[in-house]
Structure 1
């Protein structure tokens, strides 16, 4: 095991972090990260890990490089395992080599975990292959921001200009006029295509293509700033043809997800696939029951029931936690029929070896009742419903009206998440929020406990409100809001699709 891991975080897309990097982040005592390392990676850190931000943003450093080196050596010498997270690759214009030298000089061990460098990834996400058989067989990576203390420049502009290689400049936006002039003075054709990709691979990515003679003026007119990659070469002509990432329907749209953190990842992943900038603002906390004696009693007496009806993924998870803790498995369901409200709940059951006997076409209690009645539920049918402690009573009430004997089994309880609304208010005030999504009545109620309705109304109609179904929409209307978006199918994928087509 090394004292310090110099980890490449990649260019920003969370999916481009390597598996090895994630594993190290999950075990390290200290996580040190840069401005360009996506802060979403912090979720992988241990709950008790120390998180240290060191900045390094285009000349505005929270901590200068020499101080970073000193801090790494000092903390590692204390016996702490450090994950040093750097944007892109630690050895490609990342000053990782300098940090490694300092660690070696102090007698400390280190390991390098390479990352995907922005010079390859950002152009690829903008439809620009840095090499292509019809255009060029080589690529040159160049810093656009040299060490100002060097006595002599390391650039040979005549070589760059006469080369047929694709030229990729890092950290060069401020020096773009100088870069373009030097290349043209060295003999590079002024009509050579040039592309700029800002925030490559992130939901805020934007790109443009110009020519060497016009790029400085065009970039200024369009407000292109750091961090941007500059690509020079005929491969840039493929941008419009191959630019796949910027075609995503929600690219750059800020979407607030109010689901509980335990539930949010799947929805957030779907939204990110559509290009959205996801802000997780969990309004609900999912908590186990303080005493599981009642759950154990119900599991021990499973033979007394004809049907077990699961109404949520959380219900399945909590029920199974106790089931397995009792040393039991799916055989405990022998002879029982099982229903699942919604495809996600059904999938959670299937992952545990239970194929539901019934999944309704519409994922609301009223349709569940009619479907169960069609499948033989009648007077005297015994039904167990593992669910949240507080939930809608329509399902058990309607089943009882049909003569069924229903036992509600609380397997978890929901609470108000303690996260404050300040971060959301900042995003709203900055105009970074386009949609707020609600996936249950509880998310609506808790949202407005954290953020007063009057605060949200200030940002309408720019901010659109999306509800998963009519029950949630009715709760939202109780606070004086009309949902702008509601899918026909009351599922998470359908809600994401409705946002994408709005």
Structure 2
């Protein structure tokens, strides 16, 4: 895998951690964060929802920022962790909640909504009469999850805890970085991450669209292909293991 030279686009701390793991496997990577997490101010509505968590048959936390911010709110209102059934899309998010003392279920394989929806404990939770599900997330995103849960008969509410912003970069920063460091692969971790990549690429997108693009789920893969990305690799997960597996299976492009 030593031929890969990747652009990582996650928030700065997550990109740095992934860069370190890749380096141990002989993969060069450089970081250009395309997502910046901005927590939303705690409101009376947020506090009311947190105070009534046990009325939900399932609480789904879709990201690490949602887990961290959610725990900060929990600490203010729950002397002991609530007995709700907790679910996450990925193991890293689950670990944050488990460290706080919550009992969490997550898919063993596949960090995406599709894998979560197949999870037996979640199916069992929404099979009860009048199931109510809370999704803790940032502004927007993962509508598929709510749609499928409603198809299963659940009522779904959102608790939005943060927004994702595009950091400020000079107009040509993205293509200039790719050219200067001879990068041959792009990595995004979410649909909004891809949208920011597409936006920042600007007029250079037709050239960048020819590079292999590693994405975490079928939903993001579909979004990227619709925008013209030529080689989209669905890692079926946003973690380092999923990316490394995809890198081993994908031939290194000759530039």
Q: TM-score range with shorter-chain normalisation?
A: 0.7 to 0.9
Q: Which has the larger radius of gyration?
A: 1
- The alpha-carbon distance between structure 1 residues 302 and 431, as it changes in their structure 2 partners (threshold 3 A), is closer
Distance in 2 (alpha carbons) for counterparts of 1:459 and 1:385:
34
Deviations 1:221-259 (CA, angstroms, capped at 9, x unpaired)? xxxxxxxxxxxxxxxxxxxxxxxxxxxx336x4210111
Q: Does the CA contact (< 8 Å) of 2:58 and 2:125 recur in 1? A: no
Query: Which aligned segments of 4 or more residues in structure 1 are displaced greater than 6 angstroms?
Result: none
Question: Structure 1 regions of 5+ residues with no counterpart?
Answer: 1-248
Equivalence for 1:449 = 199
Match of 2:47 among 296, 312, 319: 296
- Residue in 2 aligned with 1:342? 90
| Alpha-carbon distance in 1 for matches of 2:91, 2:16 | 16
Partner of 2:103: 355
Find 2:153's aligned residue among 403, 407, 432.
Answer: 403
| Helix, strand or coil at the partner of 1:409 | strand
TM-score normalised by length of structure 2: 0.85
Q: Which residue of structure 2 aligns with residue 473 of structure 1?
A: 221
Please say if 1:258 is aligned against 2:14.
Answer: no
Q: When the two structures are superposed, what TM-score results if normalisation uses the length of structure 1?
A: 0.46
Q: SS of the residue aligned with 1:397?
A: helix
Deviation of 1:492 (Å): 3.5
Question: Which residue, 81, 85, 91 being the options, matches 1:332?
Answer: 81
Shift of 1:460: 6.5
Equivalent residue number for residue 499 of structure 1 = 247
Flag the structure with more relative contact order, 1 or 2, with Cα contacts below 8 A and sequence separation at least 6.
Answer: 2
Provide the C-alpha distance between the structure 2 equivalents of 1:291 and 1:348, rounded to a whole number of angstroms.
20
What do residues 257-307 of structure 1 show as CA deviations (whole Å, max 9, x unaligned)? 111224323322222222333221111111111343322111111232222
* Partner SS for 1:498: helix
Match of 1:279 in 2: 30
Structure 2 unaligned segments of length 5 or more: list them: 251-255
Aligned counterparts of 2:172 and 2:10: Cα–Cα separation in 1 = 18
The number of residues matched between the two structures is 248
On the 8 A contact 2:221/2:233 being kept in 1, the answer is: no
**Map 1:42-57 → 2, pairs under 5 A:** none
Q: CA deviation at 1:363?
A: 3.1
Q: Is residue 94–residue 105 contact of structure 2 (8 Å, CA) maintained in 1?
A: no
Residue 451 to residue 498, structure 1, CA distance change in 2 (3 Å): same
Q: Which has the higher helix share?
A: 2
